[in-house]
Structure 1
Amino acid sequence: MATQAQIEQIIDVALAEDLGRGDRTTELVIPQNMGGTAGIIAKEPAVVCGGEIARIAFMKVDQTLQIKVNIPDGQKAKAGEPVLLVTGRVASILKTERVALNFLSHLSGVATATSQFVEKVKGLDVKISDTRKTLPGLRLLEKYAVYAAGGQNHRPDLASGIIIKDNHLVALAARGVSIPDAIAKARAGAKGMKVEIEVQNLEQLQQAILGKPDIIMLDNMAIDDMKKAVKMVPASISLEASGGITLENVRAVAETGVDVISIGAITHSARAIDFSLSFITGRPPQA
């Protein structure tokens, strides 16, 4: 999980990108002493994520702002609900608006997509996991959004786990190294980490079983082959399905008996959720 320092670094980069040279429009037309209250409103149903990120962004721009996060990360919002209220200098609110909305829109998109897959496999003994297919610079926040929505996090970086993938095997095969030998080589230096290997067919699976890895990833396998794989693999080895997983087929994949289903689309292709920031006239709504 991301540390506070890592989260703030990501927010700092976003603020510098948008506000690094100032906000010419706001500085020219909005009086510095003008106050107000604005709400960030969900314009469609969603699983919300990023409220705390938005709060930190607002506070970095102006520590005098008063912010209330109405809907915690991982909870559902209805269309029209205010997920966050911010009171204070109008100029500060306007300067932070786009950064706060960008984080909320994207992270809520990831959380909403994750929750849809989690709901599809409800009642089955399987976990929905993310991958490293993330937007550059946003991986830690995206993985947090997956976790908040009930998903499971795969390794956050290349140093956090051992996965022997197809290109590793191709390179090793050119030197005459077999799949069991590759697993043994990884195990020798694993220092307590689990060893996972990716296979693309049942022939590779048979070789992988001989090497006794901790996890075998079934990459882009047909449902019928997944069913055969589950019967072939001993209980001591976990099975992960990955590649080509959609909302339409995820239930069928889960029903094969695999332990984990990893889905790159929940991060790299998540549709942004529509939020808007609106200033409130009169008394702010009660959450």
Structure 2
Amino acid sequence: MRPLLTTDAIERWLREDIGHRDVTNDVPGETTGQLVSTEPGVIAGIDAASAVFEYLDVAVTPTVSAGDRVDPGTTVLKASGDAQAVLRGERLVVNLVGHASGVATQTRQAVEMTKTANTTGETHIAGTRKTTPGLRGIEKRAVVAGGGDTHRLTLSGLVMIKDNHIAELGLTKAINRFRERKSFATKLEVEVESPEMAVQAAEAGADIVLFDNLHPETVRQGVMRVPDDILTEASGGITVEMVDAYAETGVDIISMGSLTHSASSLDLSFRTDE
């Protein structure tokens, strides 16, 4: 089974779609079919689609790889087997690949914008934990297929001190408290609301400073004041249309929840062969 994808997940998805009974699934014999892109984009989710068809004992052959650009009419994968099994899985496969490819396509667009906007350094595009429950693995891998970074996969992947922690403990106390409790292998990031707060966080021991919901010019000022050995990140309501303005600040990372919660699905169609 593919990483981050379990048999339980596939069975749950199929039960959700099939329901009690599908009378139109009473189709005898064998069939072959193709998943075809009907618009340009970047492909992702092929591994999940293959796992679904394989669970149904349908032979599947991907014809492109995750991260590949496709044009309208490009065949993404081919499937063959029992007609009932192929038809049972087709909508789930279309949905998974379409959703993941939408994430990958939007991520690629953001990544390409940073390359032209930040001429003095390198800005990375990253996802966030604003993912669809049950689909985080697929969505995070789609971000990677688009050329982005996953950011932390779970709460345990990074110690992130946010506004509520600071409101309860104070900035310096929060940093000291959680630094004592974390592993040496885990970095500590602090969410800040001003350039002055960024300097305070860096002096208190933050590894990464996150400028949250701040105007690009304010981020620029903060980046200039933080030591070079401290990573800087901008986040909070950033869309693809805003990426260039934030990349021009020289920030190291732009994290975008919109990559996963607002990406439009890539349009695909599954067609059986006559």
TM-score (norm 1): 0.89
**Alignment-derived partner of residue 180 in structure 1:** 172
Shift of 1:76: 0.9
Equivalent residue number for residue 47 of structure 2: 52
Equivalent residue, structure 1, for 2:15? 16
TM-superposed CA distance for 1:158, in Å, is: 1.2
Aligned partner of 1:152 among 135, 149, 153: 149
Matches within 5 A, 1:100-139: 100-122=93-115, 124=118, 125-139=122-136
Residue 164 of structure 2 is matched in structure 1 by: 167
| Aligned partners of 2:194 and 2:222 also within 8 Å | no
CA distance, structure 2, for counterparts of residue 145 and residue 44 of structure 1: 17
Which of the residues 234, 255, 277 maps onto 2:270?
277
Change (3 A) 1:4 1:206: closer
Which structure 2 segments of 5+ residues have no match?
none
**What amino acid does structure 1 have at the position aligned with 2:13?**
A
In the alignment, which residue of structure 2 is the partner of 1:191?
183
- What count of residue pairs does the alignment treat as equivalent? 269
Alignment partners' CA distance in 2, 1:89 and 1:137: 28
Matched with 1:66 is 59
* Identical aligned residues as a percent: 38
Q: Deviation per CA, 1:59-109: give whole Å up to 9, x if none.
A: 111x2x322111111101111111111122211111111111110111011
Contact map agreement 1:10 1:138 (CA 8 A) in 2? no
SS of the counterpart of 1:228?
A: helix
What is the CA distance between 1:22 and its match in structure 2?
4.5
Q: Does 1:256 align with 2:255?
A: no
Amino acid at match of 1:169: I
Task: List alignment gaps of at least 5 residues for structure 1.
Answer: 173-177, 282-287
Asked whether the 8 Å contact 1:120–1:251 carries over to 2, the reply is yes
How far apart, in 1, do the equivalents of 2:252 and 2:43 lie?
27
> Hey, what's the Cα distance between the residues in 1 that align with 2:199 and 2:251?
16
- Rounded Cα–Cα distance in structure 2 between residues aligned with 1:152 and 1:9: 27
Say whether 1:99 aligns with 2:92: yes
| RMSD of aligned alpha carbons | 1.7
Corresponding residue number in structure 2 for 1:217: 210
Tell me by how many angstroms 1:13 deviates. 1.9
Please give the TM-score of this superposition, normalised by the length of structure 2: 0.93
